[in-house]
Amino acid sequence: MVQLKQQTYTNYIKDRFGFAGEGHLTDFMVRHAGELLLGGHLNLNELARNHGAPLEVVYTPQISTQIERMYAWAAQARQESAYAGQFLYAYATKANFAADAVQTALDAGAHYETSAAADLIIAHSLFRQGLLPADRLICCNGSKEPNYLAAIRALRLDGCELVTPVLDDRAELEALLACPAPLQFGVRERAAGNRDGTHPGNDRFGLTDAEIELVAEQIANSPHQLVLYHAMIGSQVEDEAHFLATLRTSVAAYCRLRRRVPSLRYFNFGGGIPTSGYRLDFSFDYAGFLTRLMATISSTCAAYDVPMPDLIGEFGRYTVANHSVFLLEVGAVKRGQPGQPDWYLMNSSMMVTLPDALLVEGQEFVILPLSDWDRPAVPVRLAGRRTCDSDDVYPRPHRPPLMLPDAGAGLIVAVCGVGAYQQMIAGRGGAHHCLSPEPARVVVSAQQGQLTTRYVPQQDQAAIMRLLGYQPRPMPSERPLPLPVAASSRPLRITPVVVGAGGLARRRIHPRPLRLARQAAAGD
Ligand SMILES: *Cc1c(COP(=O)(O)O)cnc(C)c1O
């Protein structure tokens, strides 16, 4: 029997995705002279040669590009649909709170969207420093605990006029009505979240139509104003027709409310704009979507005889998913069981790198080899060898395997689309599963037109131990153990290697709770 020559990776990519081998592979990745360039500029092969793997690569100019592109598409859409309102791009900071990401988004002209008290406290600090300019809207979403409400009030009283609590519950209004400075409010439409019945988790946000009526009336009888209507339908919504059809109902609801509330001026569709970082065959017509959305709003407003609102989008994953990649190395290959693909054992953890692969049904990420495109493509599964966890695999067991060159150990892959949510969910800077250390990080950012690079070394063992409550000591240096004297009757004692941790557990951790317990017993 003639064994067919296996397809090269280059031919696999060409057949499967129509990519000729050089040029734009996605809207954030270019292949040039056989090497991968993030954002068309940053050479990932060179970074791997200089710093090795695993390595986190952060390229903030990609964030600016994402925002500038969207503003340009919106300008085009406004023109094509003769849309009279403005377009406002807000960055949903919960996708990535890293200072580099937030600052870059602000520099590119983004408004701000917060999800929690701590988030707003960061915004307040940026506002104080002048890094979050006073002309930027700050939309405060989510269910608001007292500290979130207090943070809203504090920011408003510090002079920020555009902080905009988007009411998620009637009680939030009760708490904020007494704010001595006039506030501009938003309302979040509850029906939008799960209109199609496929996003049950979204059903918990926002107000019913009847509740919106009540808060609109309360605000009308107060020194405050209702200015914004929020209707978010989901996340990574790639089906444009569905996106538009779902929003159409919310636009009509906006118009009905606008007839009674003349201060209303913003329609905010929230998140949902998809990123290209998850699939090589991704496509979404961003400009077309905005054009058709604006046309829909325009005609609906005409039908209700109300002015066109300013349009706001809150872009989370679209803003940041593509600005960072992980470079991970195949450390070893383990043959698959008969009929099963081989395991590429990665010198890292897939589940710490890509927690959404476990959390979000069907979540994928674009994974590209840095080299060996001329070698045969073979089906493989990736496993994180820095944990001992059967869930530390990618793709998930019920998904098809990944196609990669058969180069095996030493092959480095770029894991793309990881700049949104992954590090926030994994807990950046924390102690991770099986203590898998965070890889070194290279941050490339643009300052006054110049690219600057910062290198942060891999998280060290001592830092991880401190996070867990150990007080790490220097590891005992290697020194010859005293040889047992031949004539001695004393047994040879073997000192455990982790002297620091063992000693600590005995001497420091135990006495404390015991003392406390005794005090409590004494009624102290
Ligand atoms: C999470 C969130 C966003 C961002 O969603 P993406 O789909 O990542 O763009 C926007 N608005 C609100 C209210 C959110 O909760």
Query: Residue 445's domain is classified under what CATH number?
Result: 2.40.37.10
Give 8's DSSP letter. B
Q: Where are the beta strands (DSSP E) in 138-195?
A: 138-140, 163-167, 184-188
- 494 alpha carbon to ligand 1 midpoint, in Å? 56
Within a domain: 63: no
User: Which are the contacts of 21, defined by CB distance < 8 A and separation ≥ 6?
Assistant: 10, 13, 14, 31, 373
User: Atom 14 of ligand 1 has which residue's CA nearest to it?
Assistant: 271
- 505 alpha carbon to ligand 1 midpoint, in Å? 43
Within a domain: 77: no
Nearest atom, ligand 1, residue 166 CA: 13
498 and 458 assigned to the same domain? no
Nearest to 300 by CA among 66, 22, 41, 81: 81
User: Atom 2 of ligand 1 has which residue's CA nearest to it?
Assistant: 271
- Name residues contacting ligand 1 (CB within 6 A): 92, 94-95, 113, 115, 141, 232, 235-236, 270-273, 314-318
- 517 alpha carbon to ligand 1 midpoint, in Å? 46
Predicted structure pTM score: 0.90
In three-state secondary structure terms, 468 is coil
Best probe residue, ligand 1, of 140, 235, 356 (max atoms within 8 Å of C-beta)? 235
Nearest atom, ligand 1, residue 420 CA: 8
- 131 alpha carbon to ligand 1 midpoint, in Å? 22
455 and 503 assigned to the same domain? no
Contact between 98 and 119 under an 8 Å Cβ cutoff? The reply is no
Within a domain: 337: yes
Within a domain: 472: no
User: Atom 5 of ligand 1 has which residue's CA nearest to it?
Assistant: 271
Give the tokens for residue 475: 């590891």
Nearest atom, ligand 1, residue 188 CA: 13
- 235 alpha carbon to ligand 1 midpoint, in Å? 7
- 79 alpha carbon to ligand 1 midpoint, in Å? 27
Best probe residue, ligand 1, of 232, 250, 323 (max atoms within 8 Å of C-beta)? 232
User: Atom 3 of ligand 1 has which residue's CA nearest to it?
Assistant: 271
120 and 179 assigned to the same domain? yes
Give the tokens for residue 151: 């943070």
331 and 307 assigned to the same domain? no
Long-range contacts of 405-408 (CB under 8 A, 24+ apart): 405/9, 405/369, 405/371, 405/372, 405/373, 405/375, 405/376, 405/377, 405/378, 406/6, 406/372, 406/375, 406/376, 406/377, 406/378, 407/330, 407/369, 407/371, 407/372, 407/375, 408/330, 408/333, 408/344
113 and 245 assigned to the same domain? yes
From first to last of the 524 residues of the chain, give the pLDDT tens digit: 445 568 999 999 999 999 999 999 999 999 999 999 999 999 999 999 999 999 999 999 999 999 999 999 999 999 999 999 999 999 999 999 999 999 999 999 999 999 999 999 999 999 999 999 999 999 999 999 999 999 999 999 999 999 999 999 999 999 999 999 999 999 999 999 988 888 888 889 999 999 999 999 999 999 999 999 999 999 999 999 999 999 999 999 999 999 999 999 999 999 999 999 999 999 999 999 999 999 999 999 999 999 999 999 999 999 999 999 999 999 999 999 999 999 999 999 999 999 999 999 999 999 999 999 999 999 999 999 999 999 999 999 999 999 999 999 999 999 999 999 999 999 999 999 999 999 999 999 998 889 999 999 999 999 999 999 998 677 667 666 666 655 544 544 444 333 333 333 333 333 333 333 333 333 33
pLDDT for position 197: 84
Within a domain: 274: yes
Within a domain: 473: no
**Segments forming the whole domain that contains residue 524:** 480-524
Where residue 113 sits, what CATH number does that domain have? 3.20.20.10
- 113 alpha carbon to ligand 1 midpoint, in Å? 8
107 and 256 assigned to the same domain? yes
Nearest atom, ligand 1, residue 95 CA: 8
Within a domain: 423: yes
pLDDT for position 503: 34
Best probe residue, ligand 1, of 204, 314, 421, 422 (max atoms within 8 Å of C-beta)? 314
404 and 421 assigned to the same domain? yes
- 383 alpha carbon to ligand 1 midpoint, in Å? 30
Nearest atom, ligand 1, residue 318 CA: 9
- 268 alpha carbon to ligand 1 midpoint, in Å? 11
pLDDT for position 512: 37
54 and 100 assigned to the same domain? no
pLDDT for position 508: 35
94 and 223 assigned to the same domain? yes
Nearest to 143 by CA among 117, 111, 178, 106: 117
- 214 alpha carbon to ligand 1 midpoint, in Å? 26
- 102 alpha carbon to ligand 1 midpoint, in Å? 15
Contact between 334 and 380 under an 8 Å Cβ cutoff? The reply is no
347 and 403 assigned to the same domain? yes
98 and 228 assigned to the same domain? yes
User: Atom 10 of ligand 1 has which residue's CA nearest to it?
Assistant: 271
pLDDT for position 188: 98
Q: What's the one-letter identity of residue 92?
A: A
94 and 237 assigned to the same domain? yes
> Structurally, how many domains does the chain consist of?
3
Within a domain: 66: no
